[in-house]
Structure formats: structure tokens, C-alpha cells
Structure 1
Amino acid sequence: MKSYQKLTTPQPAGCQVEEEGAAPMPPARGRMAPWWVGSGLLVAAVLLSTITVWVLRQVSGGWLGPTPPPKCLLVPESHRFDCYPERQVVVTQELCESRGCCFIQSPLPAEGKQGVPWCFYPPDFPSYTLESLNQTALGMVGLLVRREKAYYPRDIEMLRLDVEFETDTRLHIKITDAANPRYEVPLDVPRAKKRAENPIYSLNFSWDPFGVLLRRTATGTVLLNTTVAPLIFADQFLQISTSLPSRFLYGLGEHRGSLLHSLDWNTLTLWARDVAPTESFNLYGAHPFYLLMEEGGDAHGVFLLNSNAMEVALQPAPALTWRTIGGVLDFYVFLGPDPNMVIQQYQQVIGFPAMPPLWALGFHLCRWGYGSSNGTWQTVRAMRNYQIPQDAQWNDIDYMDGYRDFTFDSQKFASLPSLVEDLHKHGQRYVMILDPGISSTNPHGSYWPFDEGLRRGLFLNTTQGQPLIGKVWPGYTAFADFSNPDTHQWWLENLQHFHAHVPFDGLWIDMNEPSNFMDGSEDGCPPGELDSPPYTPAVLGDSLSSKTVCASAKQKASVHYNLHNLYGLMEAKATASALTQIRGKRPFIISRSTFPSQGRYSGHWLGDNRSQWKDMYYSIPGLLSFSLFGIPLVGADICGFSSSTSEELCTRWMQLGAFYPFARNHNTQNEKAQDPTVFSPAARTAMKDVLLTRYSLLPFLYTLFHHAHLQGDTVARPLFFEFPQDVATLELDRQFLWGRSLLVTPVLEPGVDSVTGYVPQGTWYDFYTGSSVNSSGEMLKMSAPLEHLNLHIREGSILPTQKPGTTSEETRGNPLRLIVALSSSATAWGDLFWDDGESLDTFERGSYSYLVFNVTQNIFTSTVLHASTEATSVTIGTLSIFGVQKQPSKVLLNGQEKPFSYLDNQVLTVSDLGISLSQGFSVQWL
């Protein structure tokens, strides 16, 4: 038996296929050996060891029933691919063998763990055969044929295979029905214009059974091998498996847990759901993308462009199985080779994130339960009184009249317009919440959003063509259909009407999974295979309609069955368009439900967390995962949303949260207030100080977002992104980096005055003092009293900082301080992006300044590569250089001698530079 059937003529794009126009090579006949069998000796060894284990288990009463066939005994436990994944069924030997699969009853797994499947595919389970394969301009097209029926209804006998070698580092593989069109995600994905000329990958196929084998050319590492289990493609059940080259797998959101996924029989479900973040549950968003670190530090990523309910089963082989219940198998593979490049390549497909306004990067404050606009205003005034930085004040649903969108309570929130006016006078912004559920029962009679939406036919409908009515905060509600372009216009008009009374600056779109307080609708859901499909992935509630609308609901673009996971994305797109038209400035939107490409329209917060220490920890892998997903503007509710925080927890969380890319303190009603003003003077001061540190770093943070917008760089970054060959970094998720330069090591435990963190190899400088630590790549214990957050600057970096004010608007007028962290070779590099902070498309229009900073041979140079008028009003006041080995005798600014100071910890400071940001200059020390 052959391990796989190669085609013989090599092609430039890295795949072995026949010459164009030639008759296709006939498929190999007979069954292919499983991927883990490489020689007769291995077969014999596995067989002998497996039979030995079987005898021992028989003696100990392990297996029940007749002896499994030898072909089943050949399959090691870790390589058993589940043939009966239905959770609601206790799998029996009869049920299993009715599908033609192997049955070996293993010991029951520990509580809460799935364990080794009892029912699994034998090596010769029927699959598709690759009948033909011909070249196209971008790759090739093939025909797959299944000659034996599969066990799910309406399996598709003939499939079309499309392969496009889109770039040297990106491969596109799509499998769909050869005869009939199927639903495909309406994502605006760029198409390649020519075939890749020098791909860094090679692609081979197994013909019978069909399988894909993808290798990294430089190392020979097998990135994909889909011959490990049969391809299943039925109308409502699509499944494909692959081996993995390592266990270091990340992504596949939205879930709560460690950054690194466990491959110990772990199933991750992707189906947008309103539920407080809990381990093992499908949460608010769906991101079918993973990043995998290979041995040696290379990385690759895989994206399945599919919006249907889905689960991804992980097993210790290591291997992975995709299961989805609709659409097509549309894969993009990104070859990196480093993790930063993988994420950039992913975002070249889904779109780069929007550039946020500068004020979005300031500190935001919110709670559900201020009770009134005057109560909200009182908190704003208290923050100002203590001179604690704050850029935006938010309100939750209690500002509304009866929880109805586009209204505000005329009694409790009568002064809301005045509050917003006051915020604007102080350089601050106002953000309010909106839900997609539109009240359908209105005690005051007319309610224009519902009446007009109904008249225009803009809501989700039942199968009978009537508006689907569910229940959310205002009571009975209809749900806006954002797949309908007409809904976008109606949404805009509603927002325009409200903005005329309350001139808000940003929007918080919540409950957009969409959430429903009843299952399906007020009438339930109709019988049928959309609401009760032949297979339901492992969704919370065991039903597609659990706490959401019926999957059979009709929308303009398709049925909700196909569009559910896109709902939050479509609302964000409509909201971004409306805000842009209303304000004429960059929109600021934070959304709960998300899908790939969401970063183009909104940021995200990690949902209704709790005021617990473990929730604070889980926020770090949460924000790092969304960095992988191309949504850099992300954070968690600082100090926790539900339950009451403690002073210590909130202080530590404010320190961590000050380094979320999106920083908002938010909590629920009927709990103790947790804004910084309510705590003791010591805690309040610690919170204020760390916010001032954040504000001092706004120029650096803003520049990171520019690079995210321009080319898909991450803002908050796992350590292994910068140190991919350091295996010690691959499991770290209690620390993170801003860009490549700033290491954040928060305290995540109560009652301690120190923290242990990993410091990668090299020289790192204390952000506050400039003192250095030289690490060989080790865990170091750092002092961390309650008022202190450990921040370290990586050698070779230059950070643009600024004297902090209490708003971003005030800060951006202050002098800059450039912090240089010299490398061991006395070099450093950094940059600064500067514009007006809020206008649309400043980079695209050329209305910006961009500066590059360099140090070499004791000379600091600031080079202006692009200039705009905004830079002329800002000055560079101070240059601090960390790691100057000996005290200079003199310092020259543009050749003129300048006063300086030098400290014993090797920090050289040159003050009172007074140089316009628009001017290049040099500083030399001798």
C-alpha cells in the first residue's frame, strides 16, 4: 500500500500535478495506509503492542462484546477520530457499527472531559476519490467522487476542488458541491491576480481516498495531512480532519481559557451565544482561525471561511477535526513563517483593522446603575476633582426610556444633553449602549423605530413571513435584519434623530449574538432541519435556538441558520457607516459579538466577567486571542462586571487594565461602585498613577495602532511572537507585550508584594527608572507592592512618550519625551505616527507626520519621513537614554553643546530640547 499517490510532474506553484491539458492520472486503487503507519515493521510493532494491551484489558474486564477487528486494534488511542460525535447519544456498539466504524469501549473519562472516542473510523472507511485534476490560471480544479453513501442524510456525491496558489505564503483550498450552489460567507475577500511564482510550500494529493498533504519546503514539516480521517460532505454535516505538526495551537475563538489550547480531547464550539464567560462554553463571537507554532519557531495559520454552527475537535495525536453544518469548506493557509507574519497574512484576507480615534485609547468609565444623568455627572466631576485621567463617560441601558433604543428617560436622565455638552467642553466624549432588539409593544402608542422598521420590512421574519418576536430588555422585541441594506439606512435615520438631542461620540453595541431571553421566539421554532438539524454541534443549551432566535428565521441575505454568527459583524458595519455619516470623523464602536473582519468596524470587550482574580487572569489570553483575530481594540471590564470587587483586586486590575488596548472600568447595578474615586487615598493614587503612565504612553500606543491599521501588526502581543524560538514563551499568558518593546508583568494573585515573570534573553530596562536587568531567558521575581506595576523596555527600542494630562486632548499638546533603551551594541530604533487624532483616512490622504528614531555610534537621530501641520504645534522636550555605559564629557544637539544629567544607573537625560516635532535633529554624546 502506498502512503499517498503522488502526481509526477513538478509545477512552479509547489504542487505536483499533471501537465495542463494532459489526461488526468488515474487514481490509485485500493485503500491507503493510515498516516501513522510508515513501514511493515511499524505495523507489526503496533499490532503486537495493541494486541498485548487488548489481552491485558480483556483479563481485567476492559472491553465488552466480541473482539474488535484487527484493523481497529491497529489505531492508537490518540489517533482515533470520532465517528459518533453526537453528545446526546450514549454510543453503543450497534450504533457505531451501523456507521461502519470501529467500537472499543474505553474507561470512562474524568468528569467534564470527553476522553478517547469509543466509536472511531477504521483505516479503510470510505471517502472521496479524486477523479480528475487540471490546471487553471491560479492553481487547479478537481472533481471528487464518493461511491459509497455516508451516514448523514443528503451526502453529496460529487464535489468540486479549487486550489489557488495566491501568494508565496498563502494557499487557498475550497471544496464545494460540484452541481449545486451552496451558501458562502459574503465577505469581501481580495482575489489573487496571478499564480504564486516561488511558494514556500509544496502541495501533494492522495487520490484514493482523497487527501491533502501540505509541507513547508524549507523544513519539510507537514502542516496539513487530511488523509488521517475520511472527508464527509453532506448537506448539513461537513467534516475534515488533519494532523498537526505540534501541540502549540492558538486561536479558535471565542472561548475562555488559556491562550494555548489543550489537545487532550478538547472540543471548541463556534456559535455566537449570550453567556457570561465560562470555560468550555461557546461565547459571543465565532473565529474559525488557528495559529500553530512548529518546532524551530516557524508558524502557520489556517482560516475556515464558514459562518455556520461549527465545532473544532482537538486530540493528542496531535490532530484537529473541523465539523460544520452548512456552507462550504473554504480554507486559507498562511505560511508566515513567523507568527507576526501569519497574522498579517490573515488580515490581508479579512481586512486590516480601522484606525481608532486617539480618544478611544484613553480611559473609559461606565456602570449599569448610575440611576440618573446627574448620578453619572457626579462621577465625572469626582474624577475631575481628583485629576484622574478620563476620556469617555458611558451609560448602560438604564439611560433609556423603558429600555427602548433611541430614547432616554425624560425624568431620571433629563440632564443627559447637558452632561454631554459638559463632557465636550472638557475634551471628553460620551458613549451609549444600543441593542438590536426593537421593542414591539409600546405603551405610549407610536414608537417610530418599530413602526417604520415594520413598514419597510426590516426585521427578521418567521417562516410564515411575519416579524419574529422574542424578548429582550424592553420586553417583546423584533430584531433588526442587518443583512438588508435598507436596514442600514433606517439605522442611520434612528441614530440621526437621537444624535440631534444627545450628541454622542461613540456606540456600544451589545446583545448582538443576537441575544434572546426566550428560546427561538414567543412561539418557539417550527419543526424542520434548520432548527433541528441532523447534527447539532456542542453548543450551550444543546439547541441552535437556545437564548437566541430560530435558525429558520428569514433574513434578506439568507436564513438565520447561515447568518447567525455574522449578526454582530453586520450590525457593526451598519453602525460604523452611520457614525461616519453623522459625525464625519472616525467611528468608535465596541461590539460584543464578532466575526472575522470585525476589526474593520469595531473593537470588542470580553463580556460580562466577574470581580474575581481568575477573571482578571483570563482577560489576558482573551485580549491576546483577539489580537490574533485582527481585532486589536480589545479589553475586559476592569475590576469585573458582576459581583462586588475588593480594593486590592480593583487596584491590581486597574494596573493591568491600564494596559488593555481598550481600557474601560465597568460594573453592574446593585453592587458597590468601583470607579477610582470611591477607594482609599492609597488605592486611588495607585490607580491614578497607572492611568497617568498609560496616558504618557499614548504616542507609542497610537503608533502601534497605526501599524495594525496599515499592515496588520498586533498591538497587545504574546511573548512568543517576539521570541518564537524560545520554547519557554509558548505557554506564557500571564504577561504580554505592547508591540515588540514593552513588557507588562501584572500581579494576578491576592496578598502578595512580588510577582514572578519570564524575562526573555537580553537586556531589559525598568520603564520608570531606566535600571537594567540582563536575562539569559529566565523566570525572575520582581518587587510589586500594591502601588507598582512592573513594566520593562526591551533593548534596542525607542519609545515616544508624552507628559500626561487628564484627557488625550490635553496630553497631545504636551511636550514629548523620547525614551531610548540601548542594545548591547549601543543601537536602538523607534518611530512615531502623528495626526489630528480623529479625522478620517489621515494616512490615506497624507495628513499625518511620521518620524523614525535611530541610535548608532552614540548619535541619536530623529528623521521626519512625512510631515503635516499638526506636528508643528508639538515639541520634543526630553531625551532619556538608558544603558549609556559611561558618563559623557559633553552632549551636542545639532552640533551645539547642551546641558545634560547622568545617573549611576547609566541613564543619560537631555532636557529642554524645545524642538518642533516637524523638525529632524541629532543628539551626540562624547
Structure 2
Amino acid sequence: IILYELEQSDFTVPRIYLCFCSQVLLQGEIYEIEGNIFRLKINEAAPLRARYEVPDVLIKEPTTQKLSLSQKEGGVLVLTSVNEDYKLRVTANPFQVELQFKDETVLSMNSNGLLYFEHLQPPPSDRYSLWQEKFGSFLDIKAHGPSSVGMDFSLHGFDHLYGIPQHTESLLLKNTSDGDAYRLYNLDIFGHKIHDKIGIYGSVPLLIAHKPDRTLGIFWLNSSETLVDINTKAVPEVRLHIPTESAADISKQRAVPLTDVRWMSESGIIDVFLLMGPTAFDIFRQFAQLTGTQALPPLFSLGYHQCRWNYEDEQDVKAVDAGFDEHDIPYDVIWLDIEHTDGKRYFTWDKKKFQNPKRMQELLRKKKRKLVVIVDPHIKADPMYTLYSQGKEKGYFVKDRNGKDFEGICWPGSSYYLDFTNPEVRKWYADQFAFKTYKGSTNILFVWNDMNEPSVFKGAELTMQKDAVHYNNWEHRELHNLYGFYQQMATAEGLIKRSSGKERPFVLTRSFFAGSQKYGAVWTGDNTAEWGYLKISIPMLLTISMAGISFCGADVGGFIGDPEPELLVRWYQAGAYQPFFRGHSNMKSKRREPWLFGEKNTQIIREAIRERYVLLPYLYTLFYRAHTEAEPVMRPLWIEFPEKLETFGVEDEYMLGNALLVYPVTDKEAKAVSVLLPGSKEVRVIQSCSAFQPTQIYYTIPIFQRGGTVIPLKTAAGKSTEWMTNISYELRVALNTEACAVGELYLDDGHSFQYLHKKQFLQIEATQHTYCQWKCLVKYGNISLMCCLVKFPE
């Protein structure tokens, strides 16, 4: 590809024309977006048919700013940002774009000449060419021909990269020089391996690079199958030649890292956002500016969830619920998997096992608890099933390449798949959650979207064929990674709609994409009851959190298999300090309610769950900050200590907010652990949330509070979050070396949108200066009050 022509008007949207040797014209557009974001779009100038551009992920069309032209000569175009800190240097031949900050190159595009763009062509006479390929017994016909795109990026001075979930891999992204690229392709992989770059249930094409003085992000907005190659190398530092320097001086020049990242997608266009930070928190805000912030969850969903495939009937649910009370263990939600339905027909009940689901829910309501049921995207092929008959009649199912409804095999047997990319289908689907339509449901019933990659048991890679056809005649290959995103969107809208817009929804999804944070929670999928899966869950959750989805968790105990008691205990201790906290197990696993492993282990699990409930005011405040400021609830150490190199690769401990350092114990029969305390003067041990004692390591895990912080807590745990309304609060203070501390407490009704629509919330900022003076800034909606408490030294 070479630069063909530059077209400029007012430089708000500079256009760059490129061409192949075959003279196929591409049109590139460069934007500056307010907030230190730059965007590059490349598409065919005159394609034979429209190419797919990802819709609905961006919360709005970004506001552009006017770039100014500072140089145009000799095949070089230099554009300067509004604040004049950034320059875009566009070179004609070969085509290359350098992004400079104060004349220092931070990032360059196509510096390795790997930009490629397969243009659409008329069908060849030989239909057995690149237009079709076989995957096992499956034939994939590319109805519009090959259309892959790709580009390389060089990150100057960076060798620590993070992001691009979801993989069962380390926190730090690894070099892929062995040819094993990171894959972004949502798949149902039961019992997935660990330390594998294959894509699993979700995809967020956001890569974050960090060095001590800067963090940047690359958001590759493409929903087709995508591969990411990474290669870090050391290059000599570029220095001006000084004649008096000796050869020895030159040989001592510092080698600086250079990381090449290559993105390759099967289809679509090149649409990439460069998030220039410069801090990690700036990156999170910039990404949220594009894709939205984490939805503020209802308070109950931050409590403990008890799930199993499957609780058998109403009596089983009643017995498990009573078991928590009998053993004095708090919990908020009990879950029902696919067996609660009438023959895997979602929005129905097995009338033999659940004869009166409203009565069952009324029992839970009196206990101030909730119910979650599963609703998968596949629809059982049964003319007597309303969802099937209506979907068939209205043409709401995904089509195969011949125009017939796509048929696949899933839990019900022969199944059809709703086309959630169609806004009309999403609206109809949302209406299914209305109480008059979803018989037996009440306002304490919430939803779990599973199998929405989508999972097709006898499909290629257990998913939908790429040549299936969606709304507006788009092939499935174009939008595969969006399917689960759209189902969760429709489900959340349905739960909001059933309450006339008053109540916050709770929706858990297995499949996700950039922007899924707006609609609820995700989990890491079908893990295994082994120590390695407990250990890998930490970097997996940290990576998802950095990609904007704060409400994430892993199945406590492991979904597949039977955990030994020690592993189960350790998993509860870890899960209590992670955003989404759910115990879950497979139907072939032995029952594992918390009281089934002996009194000693029951006591430890009870204390771990109680610690979670005591911590809820702090956790809820963190979620409010995630909702308003895009700050991850669970974050790697390097985010809080960005200049400390020793934190950059740490993945066995993490920060919960800015105040708590958590070290889950993930090794069997651990007698001692070694915890990194960065800036040790800033971190002090507390005895409130976890009474950690090195001599009793089996009974707890190390939790540390950072000096200079104030953590809001409840003084005791209750049976559920609603039971704790009248339990008093306490502020736990850890002074820094200057004898100061700052913290925050956010409160609202915990379930409605009144905090947003009517500003009904309470926000308190607590500050302690010296050992004796307290100040609190109280905000009630738009009203602010300053209060001061003077504590006299004893």
C-alpha cells in the first residue's frame, strides 16, 4: 500500500487516500477526539457492497476536535492537536503514521508495512477458490469473498502489555513469536485449558501498554475473529551524534524496548482508537467515554450467590435457603439452572418440580433474598412453544446461507437462535420479561444469560457457522463477538422495562464484548475444581476489569469436578474479595453447600462470607466510582503504583479499590506466603476485614490497608444485604506517615434509579488531618454539607 493522495478541508477530519498496486482505492480518516483520543478509520472508497462497521458499542458518535496543519511538504503531513502537545506525522511513501508527544514518538502505525485490506471483488469463475474453505466436516462459503484487514503498531519504550481478554493466561501479555497469537473469538470451551492464548467466552479488543511515565491504549473496534501478535525487542536509544563521543561511550548507550503489535481481523474495516492517557486512570476514562461505564449494580448482587446445576425443585430451594440460616451464613441469591424449565423452554417452569414458583419466590422475599434463573439464546423447536412459534412467524431467527432459519443443536435438542442484532427482535425479547408474559415471575427474579457465544453443539468449534446470515444481510463472521453483548443488552432492557424504568436490573452473561459493562456482570465461565484454576482466575479477573468490566467473578470452588475442602476454603476466601461472588457447580459434581465439609471448614467459609458483608459499604462505594469515574473495582498493583517496576508483572495479589491489598492463598498446604508491599510506608496491616495472623494462615488470607485511607464498613454482617439496613457503619482509618487519611462512603436506596433521576443519594468524604481533627464533606444529591469533628488526644 502506498499513499495516493491527501485531502484536507478544515482538518477536523483529514482524509488520506491509499491504493494497492491494483489501484483499488482506500479512504482513511484521522480524527482527534476530545480527551486525548485519536481515531483512524480505513475503508474502501467505493466498495462493491457496504463493509461491516460495528454498531451500538460506542455510546455516541465521539466529539471531534479540529486538527491544525503544521507541515505539508515532501510527502509528509504533520497535524497538531488542539492543545499542541500531540502531533500526527503522516508519511506518504511508504505509508506510516507516527503519533508524537512533545516531539517524542510514542506510537507508530504501519512502521513494519503490515497494513493490509482485502478489497471486495466480483465472484470468481472458480467457486472453489478462496471464497470457501473447509473446517473439519463444515464448509464455510464466503458469499462476498475474503475481506480480512490488519495493521501493525509499534509502541516506543513499552514492554509491559495488558488486556485483550478473555484468555486463561498471565496478566502480562506474552510475546507470540512462536506463532501462537492471542485469539479473540467467543467460544464455549468446556473445561478450557489454562495458560492458553485461544479465545474463550468473551472478547474486548482493548490493549493497554504501560511504562513508568506513561500508559496508552489501543482499542481495535472489530467484532469478527481477531488475532493479536506481540513482539517485544530492545533497540538502541536514538541519540544525536556527538563527534567527541568515543566508541566505548556509544556502546554504553541504553537499549530501550520497542513492542510491535499486529492486529488481524477476518472482516470489517479498520477502526482503531488510540487512547493516550497519560495515566492508567485516564485510559479507563477514555475507554468509558467511548463504550460507557460499569452499570451501578443493585446492592443485593454484591452479596453472596449460591448456584448449582441444578437445584431440583421447590423443596430443594427451600432446604438450601434454610441451611444458610441454620448455619448462620449470609447469602442474597439462589440460582436455578436449565433444569427448572419445562423441557429447556426458557421463560417456563417444570410444573412437576416447581408447581408454584410465585410461592417459592414469596418465601425468598420474606427472607429478603432474590432468585436468578437462566435464559439462554437458543429456542427449542416446538410449534407449541410460544417463543418458537412467534419467532418463526415473525422471522426473528438467524438464517443459514440459503435463507432458511439456522438450525443447531443445544440443550433442548433441535434449536433456533434469535437474531439479537435486529432491534425489533431485541424489543420483542425484552417484552418477554413482563410479568404478564413470563408466568410465575416476580420482581425478585433476575436473569443469567448463558451459552450465548452462541454455543452450537454440533457446529464448527461448537458455535454458529460463519456464513449464517443476520439482520440487514450481514454474515455471522462479521459480528460473531457481538452476539452475547446483544442478548445481555436486550435482557437488561427487559428487566428495566418490566419495572417501568424504576428498578436496576441484574444480568449475568458468559459472552461479552467491549461495552458489556453497561448491562451487568460477567464471569470467567466453566472452570475446573483444581488449584491452577484458582490461581489463574486472578489475572483473568484483573484483565477483564482493566477492559472496563468491573463486575466480574469466577465460579467459587470450580464448576467442573469436586474440590478438596482446602481448595474450596481458599476459593471462598479469594471470592469474598472479588467483585462478583458466586459458588457454582456442575450437575455431576457432589453437592457443595458451605456446611458440607465439616465444622472447621464451615466456620472458615462462614467467616469469609461475613467479611464480604461487613465490607459491602466499601465495595458499593467502589462500584459507584466505577459507574461515575470508570475506575476498576479490582485492579493490578501497578495501577496504584505506576512507577514501581516490581509491581508491573504481579498477578498473585491485587488492589481492591485504592485502599485494600489482597493476597489470596492459591497454593495447596501453604504454610507461609510472601507478599509484595509496594511503598511499604504507605501500606499497613489491618485487623478488621480479615484477622490475618501468619501462624494461622489456613483460617484467613493476608489483607492490608494502605496508609492514608479510610474504609467504610458495617459493624456486623446480616442474613442478607436487606437485613443489614439498620446495622451501623464504622470508618476504619489507616494514617499515612503525615498522620492523614482520606476516604469516601456512597449510599442510596440500593435498587432504584432514583440516585440518577432525582439525585437521591448520600456521599460522604471523610478526611483526617493529624491525630485529632476530622472533617467530613457530605453530599446529598446536589446539596453539600461540611461537618467537622475534633477528637482530643487521650
TM-score class, shorter: 0.7 to 0.9
1:191 equivalent in alignment to 2:62: yes
Q: Normalising by structure 1, what TM-score?
A: 0.74
1:807 equivalent in alignment to 2:720: yes
After superposition, the C-alpha distances for 1:804-847 in whole angstroms (9 at most, x for unaligned) are 21211122321000011101001111111110000015135311
Distance 1:257 1:488, change over 3 A: same
Q: Distance in 1 between matches of 2:393 and 2:690?
A: 67
Partner of 1:94: none
Local SS of the residue matching 1:585: coil
Q: 1:227 aligns with which of 102, 111, 126?
A: 111
Distance 1:696 1:921, change over 3 A: farther
After superposition, the C-alpha distances for 1:255-274 in whole angstroms (9 at most, x for unaligned) are 11101111142401111111
CA contact 1:216–1:223 (8 Å) conserved in 2: no
Alignment of 1:750-761 (within 5 A): 750-761=668-679
Q: 2:750 aligns with which of 826, 837, 849?
A: 837
Local SS of the residue matching 1:785: helix
CA contact 1:131–1:145 (8 Å) conserved in 2: no
1:334 equivalent in alignment to 2:246: no
Deviation at 1:300, TM superposition (A): 0.3
Deviation at 1:402, TM superposition (A): 1.2
Alignment of 1:668-687 (within 5 A): 668-687=586-605
Deviation at 1:221, TM superposition (A): 4.6
1:290 equivalent in alignment to 2:230: no
Partner of 1:501: 440
Query: RMSD in angstroms over aligned alpha carbons?
Result: 2.2
Q: Distance in 2 between matches of 1:712 and 1:770?
A: 25
Q: Distance in 2 between matches of 1:655 and 1:271?
A: 32
Local SS of the residue matching 2:791: strand
Partner of 2:25: 158
Query: When the two structures are aligned, how many residues end up with a matched partner?
Result: 710
1:247 equivalent in alignment to 2:159: yes
Local SS of the residue matching 1:287: coil
Partner of 2:482: 566
Counterpart AA for 2:82 = E
Q: Distance in 1 between matches of 2:378 and 2:308?
A: 21
1:207 equivalent in alignment to 2:87: no
Distance 1:785 1:230, change over 3 A: closer
Q: Distance in 2 between matches of 1:370 and 1:202?
A: 60
Q: 2:454 aligns with which of 514, 528, 536?
A: 514
Q: Distance in 2 between matches of 1:702 and 1:290?
A: 28
Counterpart AA for 1:824 = T
Q: Distance in 2 between matches of 1:663 and 1:919?
A: 36
1:666 equivalent in alignment to 2:597: no
Counterpart AA for 2:159 = R
Q: Distance in 2 between matches of 1:184 and 1:594?
A: 18
Deviation at 1:347, TM superposition (A): 1.1
Local SS of the residue matching 2:682: strand
Q: Distance in 2 between matches of 1:383 and 1:770?
A: 21
Partner of 1:270: 184
Distance 1:769 1:840, change over 3 A: closer
1:635 equivalent in alignment to 2:550: no
Q: Distance in 2 between matches of 1:498 and 1:268?
A: 43
Q: Distance in 2 between matches of 1:923 and 1:128?
A: 70
After superposition, the C-alpha distances for 1:166-222 in whole angstroms (9 at most, x for unaligned) are 12511111111112342100033432153352154322122101011112338x253
Q: Distance in 1 between matches of 2:280 and 2:407?
A: 45
Partner of 2:249: none
Deviation at 1:786, TM superposition (A): 1.3
CA contact 2:184–2:198 (8 Å) conserved in 1: no
Deviation at 1:238, TM superposition (A): 1.1
Q: Distance in 2 between matches of 1:564 and 1:839?
A: 33
Counterpart AA for 1:767 = I
Alignment of 1:780-859 (within 5 A): 785-803=697-715, 804-840=717-753, 842-859=755-772
Distance 1:190 1:251, change over 3 A: same
After superposition, the C-alpha distances for 1:84-135 in whole angstroms (9 at most, x for unaligned) are xxxxxxxxxxxxxxxxxxxxxxxxxxxxxxxxxxxxxxxxxxx322422425
Distance 1:206 1:460, change over 3 A: same
Partner of 1:766: 685
CA contact 1:755–1:784 (8 Å) conserved in 2: no
Q: Distance in 2 between matches of 1:262 and 1:237?
A: 24
1:656 equivalent in alignment to 2:574: yes
Counterpart AA for 1:313 = D
Local SS of the residue matching 2:697: coil
Counterpart AA for 1:315 = N
Q: Distance in 2 between matches of 1:868 and 1:143?
A: 51
Local SS of the residue matching 2:574: helix
Distance 1:493 1:225, change over 3 A: closer
Q: Normalising by structure 2, what TM-score?
A: 0.86
Distance 1:307 1:811, change over 3 A: same
Distance 1:420 1:326, change over 3 A: same
Q: 1:217 aligns with which of 84, 88, 102?
A: 102
Alignment of 1:332-411 (within 5 A): 332-411=273-352
Q: Distance in 1 between matches of 2:4 and 2:291?
A: 30
Q: Distance in 1 between matches of 2:108 and 2:27?
A: 19
Distance 1:264 1:553, change over 3 A: closer
CA contact 1:251–1:625 (8 Å) conserved in 2: yes
Local SS of the residue matching 2:205: strand
Distance 1:403 1:753, change over 3 A: same
Q: 1:140 aligns with which of 2, 5, 14?
A: 14
Local SS of the residue matching 1:244: strand
1:553 equivalent in alignment to 2:468: yes
Deviation at 1:755, TM superposition (A): 1.5
Counterpart AA for 1:493 = D
Q: Distance in 2 between matches of 1:397 and 1:770?
A: 36
After superposition, the C-alpha distances for 1:33-73 in whole angstroms (9 at most, x for unaligned) are xxxxxxxxxxxxxxxxxxxxxxxxxxxxxxxxxxxxxxxxx
Partner of 2:126: none
Deviation at 1:377, TM superposition (A): 2.0
CA contact 2:148–2:268 (8 Å) conserved in 1: no
Distance 1:206 1:868, change over 3 A: closer
Alignment of 1:361-760 (within 5 A): 361-440=302-381, 442=382, 446-496=384-434, 497=436, 499-503=438-442, 504-519=444-459, 545-557=460-472, 558-583=474-499, 584-760=502-678
Local SS of the residue matching 1:348: helix
Counterpart AA for 2:152 = S
Q: Distance in 2 between matches of 1:387 and 1:852?
A: 33
Counterpart AA for 2:354 = F
CA contact 2:219–2:272 (8 Å) conserved in 1: yes
CA contact 1:756–1:782 (8 Å) conserved in 2: no
Deviation at 1:136, TM superposition (A): 3.4
Q: Distance in 2 between matches of 1:771 and 1:400?
A: 41
Distance 1:264 1:547, change over 3 A: closer
Local SS of the residue matching 2:698: coil
Counterpart AA for 1:280 = K
Counterpart AA for 2:682 = T
After superposition, the C-alpha distances for 1:331-350 in whole angstroms (9 at most, x for unaligned) are 11111111121111111111
Partner of 2:78: none
Q: Distance in 1 between matches of 2:726 and 2:781?
A: 15
Local SS of the residue matching 1:645: coil
Local SS of the residue matching 1:667: coil
Distance 1:194 1:241, change over 3 A: closer
Counterpart AA for 1:768 = Q
Larger Rg: 1
Structure 2, unaligned runs of 5 or more: 67-80, 120-146, 234-258
Q: Distance in 1 between matches of 2:712 and 2:470?
A: 49
Partner of 2:241: none
Distance 1:705 1:617, change over 3 A: same
Partner of 1:119: none
